[in-house]
Chain A
Amino acid sequence: MLDAIDRELLKTVADLEGLPKGAFNIRKNGRLLKREVSANINIESLADGKGITVTIKPGTVNESVHIPVILSQAGLYDVVYNNFLIGAGSDVTIIAGCGIHCGGPEPEGHAGIHEFHVGEGAKVKYVEKHYARGSGRGRRSLNPTTKVILAAGAAAEMELTQIGGVDEANRVNEATLGPDSLLLITERVLTEGGQRAVSTNTITMAGEGSRANMISRSVIKGDSRQDFHATLEALAPCFGHIECDAIIMDNGKNETIPALKAHHPDAALTHEASIGKIASDQLMKLMSLGLDYDEAVNRIIQGFLK
């Protein structure tokens, strides 16, 4: 059921050597390929078949669920709506990701619209990797939307990575934070050639004592372009920070716009942003350790996107 291309894509986007243990849902070319549920994690298809609802029982700890998507059908643009209902007090990891293999001239793409409802005191780690490959010249696009609603005391850590081969990406991240909740988002995007990626982030800090930290790391090679927009909006006493760094190489272009909006006098919002080439002192240090120029550049980028 999994061919060699599927296995390679699954390995890259979800670190899977084969079928995972525990609950999982693998979607291939717009259809369910294989699903398993566990005693605490249930997965159900939506009535229209265009997505799933993952329900995690309250108090579920140390469990994970894999929901990768693989595409290798020319001309297919797969749209999927996934809901995650994470029960109070649970502590789980969700591993998503989309791998595209494009073998022909027709475009292929995927839009995953993910909505997370994280219950009171629950913790979730969400890992999502996007990757495309193949010798075909068809454009590969990935347009994910992530909405996170955190209840009181809930915590979500989101690792969102686009590692290469994606011609067009339009990402939207939205979050609403309840009292004493915590949101950490780390987004890493590498573009090259003529690729284009846009990331639009809106974090609303509605609850008192909520905390948010959004980190963006972009590497823009060749003639590619990335735009990063992030807005932190505080409606209560809270702490929020945006850190966005972009490394530009070749003719890469970048627009980074962090925005802070405080609607409460006790809100503390900060941001730091930088765009530039690789710092020469970093290159010189690694070269003084015996690496040549290209090895030093690769090592710095590898670390930056780690």
Chain B
Amino acid sequence: MLELKDLYFSVGERNIIDGINYTFEQGKFYGITGPNGSGKTTLAKLIMGINAANSGSILFDGKEISQLSITERAKEGIAYSFQQPARFKGITFRDLLAMAAGTEDEEMLLALLRRVGICSLSFLDKPVDTKLSGGEIKKIELATTIARNPKLAIYDEPDTGIDLWTIQPMVRLLKREQKEHGTTTLVVSHNRAFLEAADIVLMISEGKLVYRGDLQGALPMLNDLSVCNYRKCVGDRDVGCYR
């Protein structure tokens, strides 16, 4: 349902995304991981149109979307949860949720709260400002993404600022959305809980897609990439070569 072809994005001389080709299947749950600065968030932003690719194409349900704006991609059915969600002045969670769902109907908004599992109704009228904790604003971000009823939901580090006890319910929520609504789910994460929940783990290193498969297969490479290693690269099966 989402096809990336020869995708490049560079800043100056440096290729942040360096020729990625991959096809995401309808209804699957993908965990995108890799070292810090490897290009995971950039890849997610290219799909949403937050950054424009230098070259290559992005096909969504067979339609070329690489020239479409963020708004147009949202209307095509792509939703995005930001790693660092925006904070506003004078805009409440209710306002954002109503914009996302396209309705101000109280019952429908409450149904969305129940669907996301935010129990406290008082949450609805909270201003989405700098007074919110990191965990609160991430829950709001997640809820507004789900409220879009997207075909493709992209979550960039959804667990940032979330307490340990909320991570498993959050994983269950995204899995439930995948199962009940057929949402194709892309989660950019370092968190094992999300990677374990993924049908397919993709690993990005230095802007390249270096692994696709299950988590077990990715672990040796992840362990290697997460520590400093100055030894010489000894062949194309040596994970050190992908540094």
Partner-B contacts on A (CB < 8 A) = 217, 245, 279, 281-282, 284-293, 299-300, 302-306
Contact = CB atoms under 8 A, between A and B. Distances in A.
Interface stretch (B4-12, B16-24, B68-76, B207-215): B68-76
11 contacts: A245-B89, A285-B82, A285-B85, A285-B86, A286-B99, A287-B70, A288-B50, A289-B96, A291-B71, A291-B99, A292-B71
B100 A289 contact: yes
A281 B91 contact: no
Contacts, number: 65
B102 interface: yes
A216 B90 CA distance: 13
B148 interface: yes
The binding surface of chain A is classed by DSSP as: helix
Q: Which of B48, B74, B89, B95 has the most CB of A within 10 A?
A: B89
B147 to A, nearest CB: 8
Contacts of A290: 71, 74-75, 99-100, 102, 148
A289 B96 CA distance: 8
Contact of A300 (B84, B88, B102, B148): B88
B89 A299 contact: no
A279 B86 contact: yes
Interface size, B (range): 20 to 34
Given A279-B86, A300-B88, A305-B90, A284 B95 contact: no
Contacts of A291: 71, 99
Nearest to A285: B86
B2 interface: no
B63 to A, nearest CB: 17
B89 to A, nearest CB: 5
Given A290-B99, A290-B102, A282 B88 contact: yes
Given A217-B89, A281-B84, A299 B99 contact: yes
B80 interface: yes
Contacts of A284: 50, 70, 82, 86
Interface in B40-79: 48, 50, 69-71, 74-75, 79
Given A217-B89, A303-B89, A305-B90, A289 B74 contact: yes
Contact of A288 (B48, B88, B95): B48
Contacts of B86: 279, 281-282, 284-285
A284 B82 CA distance: 10
A59 B193 CA distance: 61
A287 B69 contact: yes
Nearest to B81: A288
Contacts of B99: 286, 289-291, 299
B144 interface: yes
The 3 closest A-B pairs by CB, nearest first: A303-B90, A303-B91, A281-B86
